[in-house]
């Protein structure tokens, strides 16, 4: 039996779960009146779409952040850095997977935004302007998880904290400036998570990858419980918060928490599947065996 099969199977199962969650998010938030109402309550006035910004002091910084991140030269340079890191760390296939993750995520988000429809369901303040999912959030999350594929195992967690913060900032900014609804951001994160798990599963099938048998699915269960608890917290807080500014804050906190769950979940799932065996391998030469005896 191929020792890498359990890791690949686990990652593909996670990809399927994320894909289902993406579809459920779209169906519940976009295709139902309750979901459209919830999007509108979390982000008052953002239902007009386009550049209909939220009335907050964060509008200026949010606009600047999106203007900087939306620069194509910056995005291209970041992808080039990802490729260079892959060459320097001799993880060429991981570099290919990382670049492919970014390209495929951006293409999938654009296709989804063009093809998915937002019906008119008679929700007050809602519109048929479709913004699901967010291209900016998709690009930010794909870049972060692309680097997670390329970096050595010991370096991934050092990037995870500032990277998660950066993705959360971009996600919050798209809502503050009125470009995207809450569900758009969640859908973007789930879309990238789906493709990341597929890429990690492909890498786990390559020679020179190790799978540590002590890793189990307890982390996945914990993350699922966190996601459920986060959703219930948002719903409860929404019901108890009549102030529009507080609802916007809740949406930002919820998106940041979702980003944390997605990134940490991706790392826990993929760590045993995309770590070169040489990183933690113990010496197995004859001299070492003699010393043990």
Mean pLDDT of the chain: 78
- Across the range 46-61, mean pLDDT stands at 63
Is the residue at 259 inside a domain? yes
Is the residue at 88 inside a domain? yes
Find out whether 144 and 167 touch, Cβ atoms under 8 Å.
Answer: yes
The model carries a pTM of 0.81
Is the residue at 287 inside a domain? no
Q: How confident is the model at residue 292 (pLDDT cuts 50, 70, 90)?
A: very low
| Spatial distance between the Cα atoms of 133 and 19, rounded to a whole number of angstroms | 13
Lowest mean pLDDT among 35-49, 82-96, 158-172: 35-49
- Across the range 152-179, mean pLDDT stands at 87
Determine the structural domain holding residue 18 and report its residue range: 5-220+235-275
Write the pLDDT tens digit of every residue in 193-252: 999 999 998 888 776 554 443 344 445 555 555 555 555 555 555 555 556 667 777 788
Find out whether 190 and 255 touch, Cβ atoms under 8 Å.
Answer: no
- Across the range 67-71, mean pLDDT stands at 88
Is the residue at 127 inside a domain? yes
Structural domains in the chain (count): 1
Is the residue at 225 inside a domain? no
Number of alpha carbons in the 13 Å side-chain half-sphere of residue 41: 17
Cis before 185? omega within 30: no
Is the residue at 187 inside a domain? yes
- Across the range 52-74, mean pLDDT stands at 82
Is the residue at 281 inside a domain? no
Is the residue at 289 inside a domain? no
In angstroms, the first-to-last Cα distance of the chain is 30
DSSP symbol at 71: -
């Amino acid at each position: 039996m191929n020792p890498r099969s359990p890791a690949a199977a686990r990652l593909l199962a996670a990809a399927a779960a994320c894909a289902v969650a993406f579809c459920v998010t779209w169906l519940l938030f976009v295709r139902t009146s309750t979901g459209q109402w919830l999007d509108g309550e979390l982000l008052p006035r953002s239902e007009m779409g386009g550049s209909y910004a939220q009335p907050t002091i964060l509008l200026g910084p949010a606009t600047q952040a999106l203007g900087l991140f939306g620069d194509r030269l910056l995005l291209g340079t970041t992808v080039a850095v990802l490729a260079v890191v892959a060459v320097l760390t001799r993880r060429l296939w991981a570099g290919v997977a990382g670049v492919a993750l970014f390209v495929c995520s951006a293409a999938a988000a654009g296709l989804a935004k063009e093809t998915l429809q937002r019906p008119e369901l008679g929700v007050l303040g809602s519109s048929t302007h479709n913004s699901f999912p967010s291209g900016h959030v998709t690009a930010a999350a794909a870049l972060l998880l692309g680097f997670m594929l390329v970096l050595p195992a010991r370096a991934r967690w050092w990037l995870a904290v500032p990277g998660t913060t950066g993705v959360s900032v971009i996600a919050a900014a798209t809502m503050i400036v009125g470009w995207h609804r809450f569900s758009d951001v969640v859908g973007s994160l789930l879309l990238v998570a789906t493709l990341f798990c597929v890429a990690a599963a492909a890498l786990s099938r390559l020679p020179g990858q190790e799978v540590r048998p002590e890793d189990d699915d307890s982390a996945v269960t914990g993350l699922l419980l966190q996601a459920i608890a986060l959703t219930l917290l948002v719903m409860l807080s929404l019901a108890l918060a009549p102030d529009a500014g507080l609802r916007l804050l809740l949406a930002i906190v919820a998106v940041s928490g979702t980003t944390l769950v997605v990134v940490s979940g991706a790392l826990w799932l993929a760590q045993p599947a995309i770590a070169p065996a040489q990183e933690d391998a113990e010496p197995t030469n004859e001299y070492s065996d003699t010393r043990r005896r």
